[in-house]
């Protein structure tokens, strides 16, 4: 590997680039981003060596796409059209089905690997990028059998330096499961933030009373709408299902409250405490 192109030099793309630096200092990293300011920042921070444009991927050995999932669906076929036969293209979106479908019939499908490195923070842009973001985290690879073996090897070398644990999954299962453990958390946090801020309009100083518990629960409400609105759109059916179950559980809780069924509430919480054991190592 000598020439790696990062399409989208934000938190994810920038952090992958920073890890790749450690793989081999002779690799030349090119950045492509429609946000010129991000590109300048990435250059200044040493995340990339040179700015580039989409057409430059004709010279790429590896292309890593880390942009919102709606843009991925549009750009991915164009990138595959452009790249040489010996190049690998990967993307890192939080949805997999629409993205895999978008390139399913592409003549260079075997040059492509669909991945979801499950890592991130509530921040975005190249300034938020750092080496080590992915260390010990899970990376879901979808339809691995559709990627040529020689390109799998290139991808694995990169994931290895990122320190990721690999899991294999079909795109539909990925989208269904990730709706629960990631997409629903974001909606839950956004709506909590909204509910409290609506209240705050009339009740000054309410946030003086907010402690670290509120901060933790609402943290994901700082996430980028540019990234998340397209995710919600692409994973619509699964997310609606999780939302229905979440709302149902909240309503049951409210009904218990109204009926003074605090024993049932106690038991519900006691059962849910089991999450302690599940979360071990996730924090």
User: Using CB under 8 A, which residues numbered 195 to 254 contact its own copies?
Assistant: 195-200, 203, 205-223, 225, 228-230, 232-233, 236, 239-240, 242-247, 249-251, 253-254
Helical axes 236-258 vs 184-202, angle rounded to 10°: 50
* Contact by Cβ (8 Å): 141, 33: no
Sole binder of its own copies in the list 22, 104, 172, 269 (CB under 8 A): 269
Q: Which of residues 171-190 bind its own copies (CB under 8 A)?
A: 174, 176-178, 180-182, 184-190
Task: Order across the sheet with 165-169: list the strands.
Answer: 50-51, 28-32, 3-7, 62-65, 88-91, 112-117, 138-142, 165-169
Shortest Cβ distance from residue 222 to its own copies (Å)?
A: 5
Cβ neighbours around 189 below 10 Å, total: 19
Quick one: 24 or 249, whose CB is closer to its own copies?
249
By C-alpha distance, which of 116, 113, 52, 57 is closest to 88? 113
Residue 145 DSSP one-character state:
G
- Rounded distance, CA 242 to CA 186, Å? 12
Binding string, residues 151-170; x marks residues near its own copies by CB under 8 A: ----------------x---
Q: Which of residues 88-147 bind its own copies (CB under 8 A)?
A: 118-122, 137-138, 140
Shortest Cβ distance from residue 163 to its own copies (Å)?
A: 14
Quick one: 73 or 82, whose CB is closer to its own copies?
73
């Amino acid at each position: 590997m000598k020439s790696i192109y990062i399409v989208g030099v934000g938190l994810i793309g920038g952090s992958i680039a920073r890890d790749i630096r450690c793989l081999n200092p002779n690799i030349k990293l090119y950045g492509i981003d429609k946000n010129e300011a991000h590109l300048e920042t990435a250059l200044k921070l040493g995340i990339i060596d040179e700015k580039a444009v989409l057409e430059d991927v004709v010279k790429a050995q590896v292309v890593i796409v880390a942009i919102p999932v709606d843009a991925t669906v549009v750009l991915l076929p164009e990138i595959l059209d452009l790249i040489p036969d010996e190049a690998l293209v990967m993307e890192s979106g939080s949805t997999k089905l629409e993205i895999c479908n978008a390139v399913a019939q592409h003549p260079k499908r075997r040059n492509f690997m669909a991945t979801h490195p499950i890592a991130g923070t509530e921040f975005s842009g190249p300034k938020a990028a750092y080496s080590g973001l992915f260390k010990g985290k899970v990376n879901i690879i979808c339809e691995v059998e559709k990627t040529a073996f020689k390109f799998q090897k290139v991808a694995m070398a990169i994931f290895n330096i990122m320190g990721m644990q690999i899991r294999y999954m079909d795109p539909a299962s990925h989208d269904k499961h990730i709706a629960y453990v990631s997409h629903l958390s974001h909606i839950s946090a956004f709506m909590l933030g909204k509910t409290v801020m609506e209240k705050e309009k009339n009740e000054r100083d309410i946030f003086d009373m907010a402690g670290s518990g509120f901060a933790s629960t609402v943290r994901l409400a700082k996430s980028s709408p540019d990234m998340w609105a397209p995710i919600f759109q692409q994973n619509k059916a699964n997310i609606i299902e999780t939302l229905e179950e979440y709302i149902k559980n909240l309503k049951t809780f409210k009904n218990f409250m109204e009926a003074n069924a605090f024993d049932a509430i106690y038991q519900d919480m006691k059962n849910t405490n089991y999450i302690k054991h599940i979360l071990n190592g996730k924090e």
